[in-house]
Amino acid sequence: MAKRIKNDSSMKEVLAAIIDQNHWKPQLQKISIEEAWHEVLGKGVSNYTSRVLLKDRTLLVQLTSSVLRDELMYGKSKIIQMLNEHMGEEVVHELILK
């Protein structure tokens, strides 16, 4: 019978190590930031969002409403701050609204 090895690592630590070893973090951030955009900005903004793309710490958001885009331009730094807080780390450095 095989002997069990006691390991005090939590599941979170093990998953974090696997993600780091396989360099999956950027891909997971791309998926997570899209979800964060919809959660942080709410359903009203989500309805007018057609695309969310993270590339090299720049978040590109394509909107279907020019009026909404102009309104969001005034609060770009606040949006970046809220998204980074939601993600738990500094993922977004720049926000481009199209």
- Whether pLDDT at 63 is above 80: yes
pLDDT, position 15: 73
Looking at domain 32-97, its CATH superfamily turns out to be DnaA, N-terminal domain (3.30.300.180)
Region 24-32 average pLDDT:
77
The whole-chain average pLDDT of the chain stands at: 88
Domain limits of the chain? 32-97
- Whether pLDDT at 42 is above 90: yes
pLDDT, position 6: 65
Banded pLDDT at 5 (limits 50, 70, 90): low
Find all residues with CB under 8 Å of 61, minimum gap 6, and list them: 37, 49, 51, 52, 53, 95, 96, 97, 98
pLDDT, position 14: 76
